[in-house]
A and B are shown apart, each in its own frame.
Chain A
Amino acid sequence: MSPLERLLRVARDFWVATFFLLFVPACGGPAIAEWTYVCGTAPLSAKAAQAPGVCGAGDPNLPPEPTFPTDICQELTSNKSFPDENNLDSARIQAALTGCKGRTVKLVSNGHNNAFIAGHLNIDSVILWVDAGTTLFASLNAELYQKTGSCGVPGINDSGACNDFITMSGTRPGIVGDGIIDGQAGEPLVGHDYSWWQLSGALREINGSIGNPTLINTASNTTGVLLYRITLHDPPKFHVKLTSVPPNGICERKGDGYIVWGITILTPRRYINSQGLFMTPHFARNTDGVDPGSTDIATCGVIACNTISTSDDQIAIKGGHWVSDLIIAHNHFGTGHGMSIGSETYGTYISPDGKQHRGVEDVLVYDLTIDGDSRAVGHDSSSADSNGIRVKSDPSRGGLVTNITFRDVCMRDQANAILVSTAYNPLFPGNLIPEFGTLNFENVRHVTCMELKQPVVTLEGYSARSRAGPIKLDNVVIDNMGPQAVAAEFADIRLGPGRTNFVPSGTGVVVTNEMTGNGPAKECVFPKLPAPELPPDWLR
C-alpha cells in the first residue's frame, strides 16, 4: 500500500467516523451514549506551553521559569547547510564544551549555514545553547557510538550496545535554546540501507530492546540538570533519560534536582523519509519522551510547559532506582503511549541520612492534555499505542508506586484512558511484586471525537495478597464508555466526593462509594500541537 493510499484510508476512516458519530444519531439511529463530541483545537494560548514568561507564572508549586544564560564562553558558527557526514563538528563542539565548564557554549547559524553534525558528545558541567534556526544533527555513523561491537548491528538484542548521542554529567549541565536537536533515526545509517528505527523494529516481534543511542542521557551523580525550550526530533531510542538530584542533596524547592521546561518533542518529524518509507509513530519504536530515573535516581524535579508527541511514552517515570518529589505541570501531549509510571519500579535507595527509599513516590501531575488526534497515526497503530494515564509493572520488575496524584487531566481519543496494570509483561516470572499504593485521580476527563473504539479503564492489582490502592477516583468522567469498558481486580477503590461515571467491579475489588456531588465534569480544550508537515501531494 502506498503512502498516499494509507493517508486516503486514514482520511476515509475519519470522514466515515465523523459522519456516523454526528449524523446517524441525529437521524433517529441508536444513540451510543450521552456525551459531547469534543473535536477541534484551540490556538496554543499564551497560557499554554512555550509561552516564555507566561506558562507556569504564578504557580506556587513551581520555581521561576528558567532564563537563557548570559555568560557565553564560546560561540560556534555553522559551516554547513545540511548534515554532512564527511564534515563532522564533533571535535570542535566537544573541545568547546570541555573548555567551558561552568559556562555556556552557543551554536549559531550563519545565513544558510544552519547545521551542525556530531557523534557522541559529553556535556559535563556546562550548558549547550542551540540558537534559534540552528539544528544539531546526530551522525548516522553507528561506529561513532560503538560500545560493545553490536551498535548498529542487526539481529542482536543488546540494549547496552551504543553510547548516547549526548551524555550530560557533573554539576548543572544543560541544553537550552530555540534550536533543534535531530537524531535522524528514520534515515538510513552510513554504509547501510536500514535506519535505527528499522533495527529496533526488527526486534518488535520478540519484544526485544535494541541498543540504539539515547538522544540525551544523564550519568549517575549528575545534579541540577536543565533542559529549556529546546526542540527534539527523531531519536534512535529514548529522547531524554534523566538522572539528577539537587546539588546539595536537599530538595528545598521542586526543580532543585532538575528542570525540563518549555521543550518540544515531535517524533517522527516527517511523514516520509528520504527512501520514501512512511514514518508513523508506530514505526519509531522505543522513543520515550522524557524518562526521569532511567539510569539512576532522580529527585526534586519539575517538568513543566512542554509539548510532547512521540511514539512511546511521552513521559515514563522509571523507578528502577528511585524517583520522588516530582511535579509535572502544564504540559500538552500528542501521540504516545501515555503519561506513564514504570514498568521498572523495583528500585531501592538509601539516602545519606540512612533512610530507605523505593520505587516511585510523591509525584504530582496536573494541568495535562493528552490528545490522540494531534496527527495522523497510520493504519499500523494499535490500541497499545494510545494510552492516557498509565501505571505499569509486573513481577519481574515491580516495586513501590505510591502517593501519586493525577489532577486536572484531559484526554481525547485514547484506547486506554486509564491503565493501572501489574501485568505489563506476563511472560517473565519474578519476586518483584508490584506494590501500587495511593493513586489519586482528580478532575480527570476523557472525551471522544473521532475514535470508533470505546475507551477502556483498567485498575488492577497483582493478587489477593498484593492489592492495589487505595485508588481514589474523584470527578473522573470517561465519556463514551461501554458496559465492559472497566476492568478491575485486586484493588481498593474509593469513589468521590466528585462524581465518577463508572463503578469498577471484579475479582477482589472493594469499592467505597463516597460520591456526594453531581457536579460538572471537567471542561476540556485541546490546543493545536506541532505535527509533521504534510507532503505537498497529500490531502489536507
Chain B
Amino acid sequence: MVRIRFRYVAPAIALLLAAIGGACSSEIAVNGSCAIDSDPALACGLAADGTFDASLGLVGYSCTGKARPDEQAMYNEGVPSGIMCADRGPVGSDGKQGYCCTTAATQCAYDPVSDCEQPTYGYQCYGANRPESVNTAIFCGQGVKEGDYINYCCSGKQQPDGCLQSDSVRCSPRLSGWSCTGQNHPRAEQLGANKSRADTYHLLCPVPVPAANPAYNNYCCYPAALVPIGGSCVEHRGVPGCASGRFGFACYGPDKPQENYLPMRCTEPGFPGRSAEGYPATLYCCDFT
C-alpha cells in the first residue's frame, strides 16, 4: 500500500518542487533566487534518529539575496496557499540563507509586510492548524486573530520569551507579576497552561517599575476584557508624569479609560498629547482598583 501511494506522490512532489524552484530562480532574480538544497547542515526532514523522514514533508532550500522560497504565496478564494519555511541561517560560504520548507502548499501565506519583530517573520493562516503542525521545523508565537485569519510571527529557532511571570514581583492578588528584559512586554502566551488566559495578545500592564537588576523591568498586569465597541483608549506606558506602577492610556475619542477598562479609576483629568504610535490623543494616568 505504501509503495502504491508513493508511486503517485513522489512525481507530484517532484513537479511541485520543480515549479517552486523554477519560480525562485527566474521570477525573483532581482532580489535573489532560491534552489532546493540537500545540504545536511539544513537538518531538514530529519527524524528523531537523524535519518531522513519523507513523511515529514520537508525539503531544504538555499537562497541568494533577499529571496525566500515562500514568497510566492497566493490567496485562492480568500484562503491563503503557500509553502511554509523555517529559516536555518547562513548555508555554506557564499552568503546563502538556508530554509527548511514544506513540500506541499499549506493554508498559510508568507506575509512580507507583517509587523513581526526581527528575527521573526510573518505568516497569515486559515484554519485551525498551527504552523508547527505542518512544518515541524518552525516555531511560532501566539497567533493574533484578524477576521477569518490568524497571524503568526515565526522563526526557525525558538525565541526567548523576554518576560517571565514571577511571584517575586509583588502585586495585588488580582494582578500577576512579571519580570521583563529591556523593552519586552508581557504577552498572554507566556502565561502557564494553568493560568487564567484569554486570546488577547498583550496583557494590560502599567508603567514598569525598574527592577534591582537594571536589565529588567517589573510589571503587575492582568488580562483585560474586550474593549467595548467604539472604545478608543489604548495602553500607553509613556504618558508624561505617570509614575511607575500606574496605568497610562491614550484615548483617541471622547471616551475615558475607565469606560473601556472597568477596573480602572482615573481621577485626574486627561491632557492632550500623543499616543505611543505618535497620533494626537488625550492622555490619562489611572489606577487599578
Interface residues, chain A, CB within 8 Å of chain B?
147-150, 153-161, 202-203, 205-209, 211, 320, 344, 346, 394-397, 421-423, 425-430, 432, 462-465, 489-490, 507-508
Contacts and interface: CB of A to CB of B under 8 A. Distances in A.
15 contacts: A147-B173, A153-B262, A154-B262, A156-B223, A157-B223, A203-B226, A206-B200, A320-B193, A422-B133, A423-B128, A426-B143, A427-B142, A427-B150, A427-B189, A429-B141
B55 interface: yes
A283 B150 CA distance: 26
Interface centre among A156, A211, A432, A463 (most CB of B within 10 A): A156
A110 B218 CA distance: 59
Nearest to A462: B133
A427 B199 contact: yes
Contact of B199 (A147, A159, A206, A346): A206
B198 A155 contact: no
Contact of A155 (B144, B196, B225): B225
Contact of A211 (B172, B194, B196): B196
Lowest 7 A-B CB distances belong to which pairs? A155-B262, A208-B198, A159-B196, A423-B128, A157-B223, A427-B143, A148-B173
A187 to B, nearest CB: 21
Contacts of B189: 396, 427-429
B126 to A, nearest CB: 11
Given A155-B225, A209-B197, A464 B139 contact: no
Interface residues of B, number: 42
Given A421-B128, A463-B136, A465-B136, 9 more contacts: A153-B262, A156-B224, A156-B262, A203-B226, A208-B197, A209-B198, A320-B194, A427-B142, A463-B134
Contacts of B194: 320, 344
Nearest to B154: A429
Interface string B222-240: 1111100000000000000
B287 interface: no
Given A149-B173, A463-B134, A508-B55, A156 B199 contact: no
B170 interface: no
B130 A464 contact: no
B145 interface: yes
A273 to B, nearest CB: 22
A169 B205 CA distance: 37
Contact of B226 (A202, A320, A428, A490): A202
Contact of A154 (B53, B144, B225): B225
Interface in B123-148: 128-130, 132-134, 136, 139-145
Given A155-B263, A157-B222, A157-B225, A463 B132 contact: yes
A489 B129 CA distance: 10
Contacts of B55: 464, 508
Contact of B193 (A158, A206, A209, A396): A396
Nearest to A343: B193
Given A202-B226, A203-B226, A427 B139 contact: no
A395 B136 CA distance: 13
Given A157-B225, A158-B196, A429-B141, A423 B262 contact: no
Interface string B100-137: 00001000000000000000000000001110111010
A208 B55 CA distance: 37
Main secondary structure of the interface of A (DSSP, over half): loop
B143 A203 contact: no
Contacts of A423: 128-130, 133
A427 B145 contact: yes
Contacts of B130: 394-395, 423, 426, 429
A394 B136 CA distance: 15
A463 B140 CA distance: 15
Contacts of B128: 421, 423, 426
B129 A426 contact: yes
A432 B193 contact: yes
Contacts of A465: 48, 56, 136
Contact of A429 (B56, B139, B173, B200): B139
A428 B56 contact: no
Contacts of A395: 130, 132
Interface centre among B130, B145, B199, B222 (most CB of A within 10 A): B130
A489 B57 CA distance: 13
Interface in B175-205: 188-189, 193-200
Nearest to A511: B1
Contacts of B104: 507
A430 B53 CA distance: 23
Contacts of B261: 155
B262 A158 contact: no
B150 A425 contact: no
B170 to A, nearest CB: 15
A160 B196 contact: yes
Contacts of B174: 148-150, 156, 158, 161
Contact of B222 (A156, A207, A397, A462): A156
A209 B262 CA distance: 16
A206 B226 contact: yes
Contacts of A209: 196-198
Nearest to A157: B223
A73 to B, nearest CB: 36
Contacts of B188: 428
Given A429-B130, A463-B133, A464-B57, A207 B198 contact: yes
Contacts of A508: 55
Contacts of A397: 193
Contacts of B48: 465
Interface centre among B141, B173, B174, B223 (most CB of A within 10 A): B174
Nearest to B57: A464
A463 B84 CA distance: 14
A153 B263 contact: yes
Contacts of B57: 464, 507
A426 B150 contact: yes
A160 B188 CA distance: 16
B138 to A, nearest CB: 11
A495 to B, nearest CB: 14
Nearest to A458: B128
Interface centre among B144, B172, B200 (most CB of A within 10 A): B200
A197 B53 CA distance: 50
A484 to B, nearest CB: 14
Nearest to B129: A423
Given A155-B225, A395-B132, A430-B193, A425 B262 contact: no
Nearest to B128: A423
B196 A157 contact: yes
A441 B113 CA distance: 46
Interface centre among A429, A462, A463 (most CB of B within 10 A): A429
Contacts of B145: 427
A464 B262 contact: no
Contacts of B141: 429
B168 to A, nearest CB: 19
A197 to B, nearest CB: 15
B2 to A, nearest CB: 9
B142 A428 contact: yes
Contacts of A203: 198, 225-226
Interface string B260-274: 011100000000000
